Structure 1
Amino acid sequence: MRVPYFAIVIADPMPAAAEPAVSAPPAVSPRHALLEQLIATAVSGAAEQMRVLATGLAGALVDGAALADGALQVRLRAGNLLRERHFAFLHLASDALQRELRHAIAQLAPAPAVLDLALVSYEEMEAQVTLGGVARVFDAAHADALAALTARLAIVLDRPLLRGQQNPFRPEVFIGALRQAWLQFQPEPEAAALLLPLLRAGRCYDFAPILETLNQALERAGVAASRPSRQAAHDGREAALAQQMRRLFAAAPTAAQGERGNASSAALLARLAGPARPGGATRLQGLKAQLPAGSLSRADETTIDLLDVVFETVAADGDVPADIRDLIHAVQLPVLKAALADHAFFFEADHPARRLLDLLSRMGWERGQAAGAAPHDALLAAMRRSVDTVAGAASSDDGAFAHAVAQLEAALREEEAATQAALAGPVATALRQERHAAAAQAARMAVAQRLAQAAGDDNAVVVAFLQTRWTDVLTLAHTVEERKPGAVRNATQAMDDLLWSVRPKQGADERRRLIASLPALLAVLNRWLDVIRWQDAERLRFFAELAECHAALVRAPLDLAPARQLALALDATRLAAARRQAASTPAPPADAAAQAVDALARGTWLEFAGTERARRVKLAWISPLRTLYIFSNGTRQEAFSLAADELAQRLRSGAAVVLPDEPLVARALGRAVDALAGNDADGGVRVA
């Protein structure tokens, strides 16, 4: 269907009021250049989807037969305009997205500007509430990709903590830019509110490829998807240790090549081929004393000394079960062969032989913490197969170690999948709790914004009602918005109508409007209150007091004395200012405990103080918004769950401690370096 009105409007390819295209400012630093690259990547990914998005929106707008005639005509005109001029809308949307992304990045400055709620209209606040509800659906659908991107951006921006709501590339920013473009694009004010309710999965951006491309761009730039605090410290220790190892081997030249070198290697391997010593003792102990003097190069002696420390560390660790220690000791000869052939074992954390030792020790340590671990489970079988793989290899080639590492990693992935399946029930419960908490937060924010925006003369009974019962209504509306679009808009409009109904009326027209609107308002209020099952006597008292308030407004004299008007205006101004100040007070900065909670990664072990003894548990699941954490005892069973603030409080008080997770080889080599420097004050290193 075509409306003739557009025969004139569609002649111009761009709206007359359109702003000029946004150009990228010149880069002033590597970080700035990287952020500009990300902005260009995001805008390009969104633009690729714009034609399909515009076509879908135009079709949805035209499909409005169930609406009243006036609203139908607005939708038809808007849909036809979008069909005819989707290229113009694409340009507007791309420019708006660039502006919104740069604005979102600028908001991460140390002292962001505080929003003055007094300058925000009711319509704009309603749009922001609707925008938040639409964006939350996409936040939940792409939680993992957003979490990885948020962690990477924290590193890029050199911030110890970056929350999901601060991610400049979150769906809310994309959808907000789309709305800004829509406001520029549509000439009719009545069409402004048509866009947001239409945006849902299949009729909005597909954020999966956009977020994946952004993560890949940061990955290519060397930005890891890990929490910055612990990872940065770990990377720094690894780099320092690698540098020390390189200096150590640079001072230990290799033996002369040729027959003498081959003979010494053969003698060394012959010595190692004997049976293992009982009790799990390292077979490298005393090896140099048994070899002829001068048969080893300085580099070979250093290799043996360092590996001796590594396997002694395993032998001394009582947290690793004895059967696992025996498995690790069984790979001494293959590991020595690999280290003698390639000293990168000591420099590179991802060397296959080193990776195998780290995995075996870590899995063994975790097995020691798990209560009731089966004596012949799949992980133990995988560990034995990996040891057999390298023990049976004919040479020191990395292929055998790489194959063994692949076997262990595949077993760990299967175990992780089985754990997640076993925790499906607790995870589903936690997700419902988080969604409800997010909905409640959005409801409280909407009520606070309305009251902060109010003139300050609202009825105290109504204010208390909104802060309690209607907050419950808005929470429910946000919860069901995805299934029943328009629920948030309906509940928010009812709140606005109620607030208006209890404000002083300045003339006979406003009083007549009040009287005419009361039946519909009361019907909407009662329907929502029935849904939340508020049926006690307090409800009757509220409506009785509301009726008295409305009656007083209708009976009040139309003309007030000037002094009375001034007094009422001053009281309203003071109350409104207090509400705005309370609403705009920034949250306190996150302390070290809160940052530690936000830095936790799945698989981290923590120790919780108990009445009789400490309890060690593994972090098995983190909710998409990082508000809930589920811990496991290591046997695919839920131990307990904690909210983020409670976990932070336990870390703050010392009732919980994050256990160290430095790999075995790095710890042992660090101990060896300290010993060589005369600083070995520690009697042993625990593998964790």
Structure 2
Amino acid sequence: MIRDNNNEGGDKERRASALTRLDSADVLTHLKACQGLAAEHARTAFREYLKTLDEALNHEIDRAKTDKEAREYNEVQRLLRQSRAELERYFCGYLSEGFVKFKKGELHTRIGSETEGELSLVNNEDLEETIAISSITQRADAYFAEPLWALNQRFAVLNGGDHVTESSNPAAPVQFCESLRKALKLVPLDQKSKHLAYKIYDDQLLGSVAKISEDINQYLQGQGVLPHLKYTIPSGAAPASALQGDSDMVASDVMVNMPAPESMPDPSLPPEEYQASLLQAIRGLQNELVAGATAPLPANGVVVSSNDLLAALQSLQGAGGQPVDSATLGSNLVALDVGQIQARLHAQLQENDKDGAMKKNDMQTIDLVGMLFEYMLNDENLPDSIKALLSYLHTPFLKIAFIDPGFFEQAEHPARVLLNNLAEAGASWVANDGTAQYDMYNKIKNVVHRILNEFENDVKMITELLLEFSSYTKNIIRRQELMEKRATEKAQGEEKLREVKLRVNDEISERTEGKELPSAVLLFLLQPWSDFLSFALLRYGEKSDRWLKALAIADELLWCIEPKDLEADKSRQMESHDELVAAIESGFETIGYDQAKGRKLVEALSSLMKLAMQSKKAEPAPAPMRDKLERIAAEKAGTTDVRHENCSPEEEQMVDSLKMIEFGTWFEFDGGKRLKVAWYNARTSHYMLVDQMGKRVDMMSGLVLARQMISGKAKIISGSSKPFFERALENIFQKLNEKAEANGKLGGENEPE
């Protein structure tokens, strides 16, 4: 609520002005400036952090009790030193990416969010890491409550007035901690080293947050974004998100009270405890939102019992109250509307002469199941056909919620796990282009069909279906993982060969660029000798005598075909001739080069060397021939990176962004086809894409993938490793929390002056 004691009628106008005065160009300019400030400080601080961590490792090495412990710390220190530049790049990259996500409204960072709940398991090491980082974050949040609160308010203005919390603030401590956690994945750290790394960062983070929050607040304040913002401790009587004016201020001099929304339970809690806390928070918000809203008793004083509700739901189970046969659940199925289902429930109760007031708990259960399925219908992970199919489970799952209260409270409840598995299988093996791997659509359809037609009140049937479906999908997962592993190993071998060819092509290019060379020399270097160099590098490595000698032969040949004036040089040419010819013939024999072609090429090279001994220079290769030979060599080697191709700044930026994606990321291409990044070669910027069976489909360059993204022909499916049900509960909590805040603001504005 914004008030001006001198102009009470201008509240709404001034509030609108505060939120709409920034156009999209201004917002983008401010976000880029803030991103730059954060990146600059983060880079400097991260270098200091690595230096401090290195010193701490030295200390641990000195005080190690055993040689083994000292060697382990030494190895960690070596890896960290070796990866310094890459660690810094990844850390700053993840931090900068947060500003991009903020602009898109996609920033909702939670510690370890991509690993929590994976296969419904979190190992002890991951849990300890999450708890450690959460402690660091909470300490920083508490220590800098005032400047971080001010940042949240100012970023809310850049966010079009939408509420910003620490998880959605791109400069909050959680962003730094999560960026560090992701960056440290580049180095295999044991638990002791990881604990030391976080301990050092805990000591440093406060200084980083202080400087960055101060600079960004000063910048935004200087740009007129809430320039007179004042921090006050919230009082019990103040409405959430209240904005109160001061009589001594002009219109923009605003004092803002801290909002007091319901906080998200700590995800680092043990799964069962976290689920219980989350459900408790949702129930609390439901109570707050529906306080006093329970329908009054009708004239006949009837209260609808749970048994009455179950009887009505049993009548409704199916589509529109009719039995559902297998053919009805076809690929063109239309999703059921949750609101219409609830309306039909009310109509069914009337038909059964059981219409009346509902108990508050029953109303909340109906609403909660409705919100669960509404989230499912809006989940972009799920193909539309699966959304439609699973929407038919609304009524039977509402029955389960009434029959067994543990449905919401127990993370391992069979019905919850079954819904998780059905959703995950649909997302993994059914695509929006109408295809389904492993006959998965029909498998899911059979489960839905059996529930609709056979489930009455015995949850044991759900357990049996869960066991059958899980057994089927586990076999698929094993086969898919094996197929992906084989495809990855094959791709890694191909990419290693590609890297070798790129290296050889670069070595030859360095030696020929800017020089006028005869056709025979170019043909020799760009074709058979490039093959021999590739063989030597692949077989023996870049430090081997074979590789170095093969390069030396190329260098010596280029020297020998140039006319010389000094007698000493001419003598060396004569001495080198026979050795070079013998070495070249040996190389041709090693790679199995065609004997006739080899003899002809050796004779031509020998003639060129003898011509040079006579102080005569051979004719250079015609330009068209040289271009053709170099083009063939480049195509054979493949392109190294986007620097060698014509690409726009937007494409370069997208290529850099794609380097941040993790293995397992799904893309959806034109027509709804889904492919997953199973492996990525950072040196050649190639992505191995597999289909939903784990079969390799493409080895796509980063530039090609970037162009598809920019043109809208491909998009990343923003998935999560958390189970469907947990994601849904978190979404429900956020929606209810936002609604509670909005109601609080509305109530505050309507208070009498």
- Normalising by the residue count of structure 1, what TM-score does the alignment of the two structures yield? 0.49
- Normalising by the residue count of structure 2, what TM-score does the alignment of the two structures yield? 0.45
